[in-house]
Structure 1
Amino acid sequence: MPSFTLRFLCAATVVLGFSGQAFAHAHLKSSVPADNSSVAAPSELDLTFSEELNIKFSGAKVTALDGKEVKLGDIMLMDGRKILMVPFAGTLAPGVYEVDWHVLSTDGHKTNGTYTFTVTP
């Protein structure tokens, strides 16, 4: 009986380990500009995710500290559809900006988040 219990526990561990991968979501791995960074005015955001994205249901909104939304260009996917590239339509003025992103991974899971960065004079 102990041998059966041990085999059952091993099998359950393997199944649960693989099911965790099946329920994975696209997590933000890195961003340029980075969270809480101070940078010269960037021309784009590069948001790198852990999984491939569906561009039709992915995007970002960038807002200045005064609440004004920043005009953005057309987003693109790069590097195996794991990097969401969001170009700015113009030059960012010095100040604090909030990035509010949302993505849909190709496996159908939605994730979102926010972070801030500062543009230096």
Structure 2
Amino acid sequence: MSIKRFLAVCALASAVTSPAFAHATLQSSDPKAGSALGSAPKQVRLKFNEALEPAFSKITLLGTGNKEIPIGGATVDNADPTVMTAPLPPLSAGAYRIRWLAMSHDGHKRKGDVPFTVK
């Protein structure tokens, strides 16, 4: 087999199998990462590129000194399982981080943070 043909076969195999190995990736958040808000948000809304496993996906809120702030439980939207939300308590001015853990139907977990500030 020629090197060109070998590379073409590898490229095709990669293109065909890559969706099967995809992981839930955060596409958008409300509040947006790095935003400075004039008033505190009442909830967190995270949108992912694929459906989440509700039992293994969660949202936590961190405040000053990485202190966890109790929030309502995160829920995955039944109508759109790519969306996870959680209600927030009243927040005072300061810096916050939304920490999320998302598990997709393929069983892979991803995590990340969304920082924001309330003025």
1: CA distance, partners of 2:34 / 2:61: 14
Deviations 1:96-121 (A, max 9, x none): 0011111100111100011210012x
Aligned to 1:106: 105
In structure 1, stretches of 5+ residues that fail to align are: none
Amino acid of the structure 1 residue aligned with 2:34: N
- List 4+ stretches of structure 1 deviating above 4 A: 5-8
Aligned to 1:75: 74
1:23-102 matches, within 5 Å, as: 23-39=21-37, 40-78=39-77, 79-88=79-88, 90-102=89-101
1: CA distance, partners of 2:91 / 2:105: 32
TM-score by length of 2: 0.87
After superposition, the CA RMSD in angstroms is 1.8
Counterpart pick for 1:17 among 5, 15, 27: 15
| Identical residues among aligned pairs (%) | 33
Structure 1 residue 9: deviation in Å? 3.8
**Secondary structure of the equivalent of 2:68?**
coil
Cα contact 1:103–1:110 (8 A) shared by 2: yes
Count, aligned residues: 117
Structure 1 residue 8: deviation in Å? 4.6
Deviations 1:1-41 (A, max 9, x none): 76xx6555433322111211111110111110011101121
1: CA distance, partners of 2:109 / 2:65: 28
**Secondary structure of the equivalent of 1:85?**
strand
1: CA distance, partners of 2:48 / 2:72: 20
2: CA distance, partners of 1:83 / 1:8: 40
